[in-house]
Structure 1
Amino acid sequence: MRPTIVFCFFCAAALLFACKSTSKTKRGEAAAEEQPTGGIKPLKPSNYTKLEGSWELNYISGPRIAFDGLYPDRKPEITFETAAKRVSGHNSCNSFNGPLNADDVKISFNEPMAVTKMACPGDGERVFMETLKTVTSYDVSDGKTLNFISGDIAVMRFTKK
C-alpha cells in the first residue's frame, strides 16, 4: 500500500511542475503591458483587421467602358469578416461568398467561392470576378480606402461603407 501512495505523490508532483508557467516576467512588466501608460505605445491595428466591414467599388482597371457604364444600377460591394476568415459580397448582379485568404499585405481570391447564377446584362460581373482573381496584395489607406493590387498595379479601389 505504501509504494502506491508514494507513486501517486510523485505523479501529482510531476503533474504540478509540468504545468508551471515558464514565463519570466517581472511583476511590473505584466501590469505595464496591460495598460498602455508610462510611454508604452499600444499596437497599431494591422492591415488585416482594417479589412473588417463592407467596401463599395469605385474604380476598376482594364475595361474601356466607363465605370458607370459597367455598373449602371448597383456598384459591387465586398464584405470582410476577419475573425471568421470569410469574404462575401456582390458583383453588381450575383452574390458571392467564400474563405478569406489574407495576411497583413497579401490577399488571394483563388479559392473556390459560392456564386449565385442570375443572368446579368453587360460585362460588369465578368470584369469584376476576373479582376478579383488577379489580386495578389492590398493596402488600406486612411481606414477609408482599400486598394487591391496585382503585381505593383492598383487594379481595384473600394471605399468603406
Structure 2
Amino acid sequence: MNKPIFIALIALSSLGALSSCNMMKKNTEKTSADKSAAQLTGSWELNYITGVRIAFNGLYPDTKPSISFGKVAGEMNGNTSCNVFGSKVTISGNKLSVSEPGAMTMRFCEGEGEKRFLDMLKKVDSYEVKDNVLTLSQGDLALMRFTKK
C-alpha cells in the first residue's frame, strides 16, 4: 500500500473515532439533563413559602397548594389551595421558569394565600430535589419547598 494513502486512511479513521466520542458525550449530557427533570415528575405539596408575615397555616388553613409535573415536558398543573391551574414551564438542567398560569378556575378565594403562591411561582429560576423535597428558588433564596405526595 502506498504510504500517503495509508496515512490518509489512519487520519480519517481517527477523525471518525473522535466524532463518535463527541456524539456519545452529547447523548450522555442530554440523558443527565433528562434524568434531572425526571425527578420532578409527580405531585408535590407546599410546606414552606418565604416572604409572608402570616403563619403558613393561616395562609392555607384548609388545603395546601400543590403542583404536578407530568410526563409531557414543559407542562405543570396544580392547585393554589383554592383554584386549579395549568402552566407552561421551561426546564434546563437545574434551571426552571414558570409562565403565567394559562387555564385556571375562577373560584373566590379568601385571604392572601393564592396570590402569594402565584407571585412566588413567577419568581422561580431554579430548583433542587433532595430527599423527596423540591425546593424552588430565585438565585440562592429558597422561595418555596414541597414534599413529594
**TM-score grouping bracket, smaller chain normalisation:** 0.7 to 0.9
Unaligned runs of 5+ in 1: 1-22, 25-42
The answer (yes or no) to whether the contact 2:88–2:99 under 8 Å persists in 1 is: no
- SS of residue matched to 1:116: coil
Counterpart code for 1:61: T
Matches within 5 A, 1:11-160: 46-142=35-131, 144-160=132-148
The DSSP-based 3-state class of the residue aligned with 1:113 is: coil
Amino acid at match of 1:153: L
| Greater percentage in helix | 2
Whether contact under 8 Å (2:85, 2:101) holds in the other structure is no
Cα root mean square deviation, aligned: 2.1
Is the partner of 1:100 in helix, strand or coil? Answer: strand
TM-score (structure 1 length as normaliser): 0.69
Alpha-carbon distance in 2 for matches of 1:141, 1:131: 20
Amino acid of the residue matched to residue 121 of structure 1?
A: E
Structure 1 residue 81, shift from structure 2 partner: 1.2
Structure 2's unaligned 5+ residue stretches are 1-15, 18-30
The answer to whether the 8 A contact 1:55-1:77 is kept is: yes
Q: State how far apart, in whole Å, the 2-side matches of 1:109 and 1:82 are.
A: 17
